[in-house]
């Protein structure tokens, strides 16, 4: 029996991606629920204001978020709410531009036996460029790692009820992209680990986001703000990981 519910985020217009994801679940005999991705421009103005704070964005980030970034964040928030509205202890959240490794089911089942307190376990990080601290055995060929630096990736992860509660409580409204917010894990005491090597693979379509839009190059002011943000992130992360 499948213990952890699986949810994947997908826009209605992305029928090919949906078909590819359904084929992956069928191949591994897994059940999954589709979550309609948030298309930001279609949201009522009041909902936009509830989710995204311009003031917080100016304080936390180096430039305004695009509609694609806002929609991406909104989609993940909807996933967290679905978990909390259920009785499930955790939820697998996937974006629709991935392939599942053959060991995916085994990895999910093995996580329950790992003796660590976690809020989120990333199913993929920055392969070959991860900053890894300690690790514990998960299953043959895989381990759970504690990142020295949390990678900025929301392509696939498992989130616990506690993790969803922390994020809903502290990240609505939001001012940064969702993957960047997760890197500031100390702000809401989010305990983030990862599966290594990755449990999923980025599909060829991952380079062509269907939600995000092409951004202009940063202005010199934005570059300065970005440098300051990254410096603050690196410094705080270093001391919090000591």
How far is 178 from 180, CA to CA, in rounded Å?
Answer: 5
- Model pLDDT for residues 120-163, shown as the tens digit of each residue: 999 998 776 777 889 999 999 999 999 999 998 999 999 999 99
According to the model, what pLDDT value does residue 62 have? Answer: 97
Residue 236 located in a structural domain: yes
pLDDT of 56 > 90? The answer is yes
Find, among 215, 214, 216, 208, the residue nearest to 95 by Cα. 208
Residue 217 lies in a domain: yes
3-state secondary structure of 159: strand
CB 193 within 8 A of CB 147: yes
Domain-embedded: residue 212:
yes
Residues 6 or more apart in contact with residue 96 via CB below 8 angstroms = 8, 9, 10, 14, 17, 18, 20, 21
Q: What is the CATH number of the domain that holds 112?
A: 3.90.550
- d(CA 242, CA 231) in angstroms, rounded, equals 17
- Cα-based distances in Å from 132 to 115, 126, 143, 147, 232: 18, 11, 11, 5, 20
Residue 69, SS3? helix
Please check whether residue 62 lies inside any domain of the structure. yes
Q: What is the mean pLDDT of residues 228-233?
A: 96
Place of tokens 């329950």: 112
Q: Report CA Rg, the chain.
A: 18
CA distances from 225 to 34, 84, 229 (A): 37, 36, 6
H or E element: which one contains 98?
A: strand 98-100
Number of domains, the chain: 1
Residue 1 lies in a domain: no
Strand bridging mode 120-122 / 156-160? antiparallel
- State pTM to two decimals: 0.93
Answer whether 177's CB lies under 8 Å from 146's CB: no
Domain containing 19: what range?
6-241
pLDDT, tens digit, 9 for 90 and up, residues 189-210 = 999 999 999 999 998 765 555 5
Return all residues near 10 (Cβ < 8 A) that are at least 6 apart. Answer: 17, 18, 21, 34, 35, 36, 37, 96
Question: Helices 67-85 & 161-170, crossing angle to 10 degrees?
Answer: 130
Q: Which pLDDT score, from 0 to 100, does residue 181 have?
A: 98
Task: Let me know if residue 134 belongs to a domain.
Answer: yes
Quote the pLDDT of residue 1. 47
Whether residue 214 has pLDDT greater than 90: no
Q: Any residues with CB less than 8 A from the CB of 171 and at least 6 apart, and which?
A: 77, 181, 188
Q: Look at residue 216 and tell me if it is in a domain.
A: yes
Residue with tokens 């380079």: 207
- 17: in domain: yes
The 10 Å Cβ neighbour count of residue 46 is 8
Beta bridge partners of 193: 121, 146
Which residues share a beta bridge with 74? none
Q: What are 121's two structure tokens? A: 């376990």
Is the pLDDT confidence value at 211 over 90? no
């Amino acid at each position: 029996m499948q213990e952890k519910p699986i949810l994947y985020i997908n826009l209605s217009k992305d029928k090919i991606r949906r078909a590819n994801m359904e084929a992956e679940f069928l191949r591994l005999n897994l059940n999954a629920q589709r979550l309609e991705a948030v298309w930001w421009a279609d949201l009522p103005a009041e909902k936009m204001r509830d989710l995204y704070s311009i003031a917080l964005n100016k304080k936390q980030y180096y430039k305004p978020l695009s509609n694609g970034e806002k929609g991406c964040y909104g989609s993940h928030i909807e996933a967290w709410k679905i978990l909390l509205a259920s009785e499930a202890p955790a939820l697998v959240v996937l974006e629709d531009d991935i392939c599942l490794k053959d060991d995916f089911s085994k990895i999910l089942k093995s996580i329950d036996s790992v003796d660590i307190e976690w809020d989120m376990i990333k199913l993929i990080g920055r392969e070959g460029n991860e900053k890894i601290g300690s690790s514990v055995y998960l299953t043959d060929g895989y381990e759970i790692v504690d990142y020295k630096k949390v990678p900025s990736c929301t392509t696939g992860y498992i989130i616990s009820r506690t993790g969803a509660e922390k994020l809903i409580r502290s990240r609505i409204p939001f001012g940064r992209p969702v993957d960047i917010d997760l890197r500031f894990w100390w702000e809401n005491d989010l305990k983030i680990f990862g599966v290594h090597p990755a449990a999923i693979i980025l599909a060829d379509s991952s380079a062509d986001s269907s939600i995000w839009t092409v951004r202009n190059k940063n202005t010199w002011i934005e570059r300065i703000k970005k440098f300051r943000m990254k410096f603050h992130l690196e410094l705080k992360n270093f001391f919090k990981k000591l």
